[in-house]
Amino acid sequence: MNINHIPTAVIHHRTFADRDRSEAEILVAHAVDGGPVTTAWHLQDDSGPRGRVIDAFLDLWSQHRDTGLILYVSDLVVRNLLREQGQVFPGLIVRDVVSGERLTDTWRRCRNEFERERITREPVPGRRVSPADAAPLVIATDASRGKRGKETGLGIVTSAGHVTMASTTTTTVLAGEFAAVDLALRKWWQRTWTMDILTDSQLVWRRLNQEDLLATQGRSPEESRCLHRLHDLRRKGVTVRVHWVRGHNGHLLNEFADRAAVAARRSSEWDLAADNGIAARLQTELCQALAGDAGHLIPAGRSGNHLPAAV
């Protein structure tokens, strides 16, 4: 089969909702080869964002069923669903990654039009109400993924003595690291104008310090969500710096984030009650440690252990 004659298509979507909004909205964009990019806003309803993505696909398929399609959709669940229903869509080729000149060009045009539509809808992001003297926060994040399953624990601790534990499922521990940073940004951006994020993943550190966060696609849904959230917060005027610290090297916040992530994973794997007291005990220990000699919480210079955040 000569795939050079099959049109390439991309569907890009994202849900926009934060504490400034009373309703969530979904922006969907789709494009085929050199044709115009179609964008549409939808209010969140019972069908959810995936329902809107499937609607966009069915619209594309109705126009290109005779030629077939090479399709990239960022949502893994939708991709798998389309593969499972392959007999219903003969000629559909679903891609897991964007590659090749034609598909890459289609993806780039779709992404650029998506961003233009988003900025047109909200040219000046709303600024939340925040005390003028809101203290900066140093926030350490970590992830722990089991060897036998996809259960991933997320640990987040702050310089103010907060401890957050959560669990999710991810395909890789790297995806979990991005999920932990994303959760930290989502949880704490309302309470401060300045966040210093600490991660012991150099891959996460490098990715989040790239000049154009949205220039390339995320390798996982967790990475994509984290990149978009960081991009949005900086547009809102929130200062977010991302630092790398060496794991298991005595950094106070990193050590507690690691313990929280491991505890969250084990609690999920062992089906322990959510309110099992671990987070409270870790928080008590953390506050005691912060009251003593906690050392430098933010890497201050370039050395074998520390890489400075991007300006």
Amino acid letter, 9: A
Same domain, 108 and 191: no
Q: Going residue by residue through the chain, which has 311 residues, state the pLDDT in tens, using 9 for 90 and above.
A: 557 789 999 999 888 765 444 467 888 999 999 788 999 888 777 677 888 899 999 999 999 999 999 999 988 889 999 999 889 999 999 999 888 899 999 999 998 899 888 877 665 444 554 555 677 899 999 999 987 778 899 999 999 999 999 998 899 999 999 999 999 999 888 788 899 999 999 999 999 999 889 888 888 989 999 999 999 899 888 899 999 999 988 899 999 999 999 999 998 888 765 556 788 899 999 999 998 776 678 875 443 444 444 32
Q: Is the residue at 101 inside a domain?
A: yes
Q: Is the residue at 128 inside a domain?
A: no
Same domain, 108 and 152: no
Contact 93, 69 (CB under 8 A): yes
Q: Given 76, 96, 121, which residue is the final one in a domain?
A: 121
Same domain, 206 and 84: no
Please report the pLDDT score of residue 8 as a whole number.
95
Q: Is the residue at 306 inside a domain?
A: no
Please report the pLDDT score of residue 304 as a whole number.
40
Please report the pLDDT score of residue 95 as a whole number.
93
For 160, counting Cβ atoms within 10 Å of its Cβ (0-12 exposed, 13-18 middle, 19+ buried), the class is middle
pTM over 0.95: no
Closest CA to 239 of 295, 188, 294: 188
Contact 140, 160 (CB under 8 A): no
The domain of 208 spans 137-298
Domain count along the chain: 2
Q: Is the residue at 303 inside a domain?
A: no
Same domain, 227 and 79: no
Q: Is the residue at 309 inside a domain?
A: no
